[in-house]
């Protein structure tokens, strides 16, 4: 068993959620949240910010930690058990540009119900739901967009 750790973000701008569409050699097609592998010496928050920037071109700020999802998949030599640490993040514009080198062919911001149904993986839908509820709570308390809760 190979253990791997990634970090990613549920990035929100004006109530909409940032998604990426990945298409890899007709083996993998689907909408996902931005995430990636922790590099040596990197804090989880740093990984989430870097991966969002690399995969989408978006400069996002971390609002709060949302939680962890876990899954496993097979590679030719072994099984990989992956932990993904997720953060609620805010962006300052609708700009995004998918990272072609990672087989992302589209990116954009979607309303919650659209994003929820577009996401390929159920564990990402669960994280989205949790993050969006946190966003709504912060918005209701007039804390979204301020620095009071960082």
Residue 95 counted as domain residue: yes
Range of the domain at 12: 2-140
Residue 45 counted as domain residue: yes
Residue 102 counted as domain residue: yes
Residue 148 counted as domain residue: no
Q: What is the pTM of this model?
A: 0.93
Residue 145 counted as domain residue: no
The string of pLDDT tens digits covering residues 1-13 is 999 999 999 999 9
Residue 52 counted as domain residue: yes
pLDDT at 25: 80
pLDDT at 15: 97
pLDDT under 50: residue ranges of the chain:
150
Number of domains forming the structure of the chain: 1
pLDDT at 24: 87
pLDDT at 80: 94
CATH number of the domain at 20, please. 3.90.79.10
DSSP the chain: -EEEEEEEEEEEETTEEEEEEEEETTTEEEEE--EEEPPTT--HHHHHHHHHHHHH---EEEEEEEEEEEEEEEETTEEEEEEEEEEEEEESSS-----GGGTEEEEEEE-HHHHHHHBS-HHHHHHHHHHHHHHHHHHHTT-TTSSTT-
pLDDT at 150: 45
Residue 147 counted as domain residue: no
């Amino acid at each position: 068993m190979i253990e791997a750790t990634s970090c990613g973000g549920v990035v929100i701008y004006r109530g909409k959620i940032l998604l990426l569409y990945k298409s890899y050699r007709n083996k993998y097609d689907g909408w996902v949240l931005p995430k990636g592998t922790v590099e040596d010496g990197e804090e989880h928050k740093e990984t989430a910010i870097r991966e969002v920037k690399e995969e989408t071109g978006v400069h996002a700020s971390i609002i709060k930690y949302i939680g962890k999802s876990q899954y496993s998949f097979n590679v030719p030599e072994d099984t990989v058990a992956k932990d993904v640490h997720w953060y609620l993040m805010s962006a300052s514009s609708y700009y995004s540009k998918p990272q072609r080198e990672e087989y992302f062919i589209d990116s954009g911001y979607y309303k919650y119900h659209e994003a929820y149904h577009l996401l390929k993986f159920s564990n990402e839908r669960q994280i989205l739901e949790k993050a969006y509820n946190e966003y709504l709570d912060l918005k209701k308390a007039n804390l979204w967009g301020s620095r009071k809760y960082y």
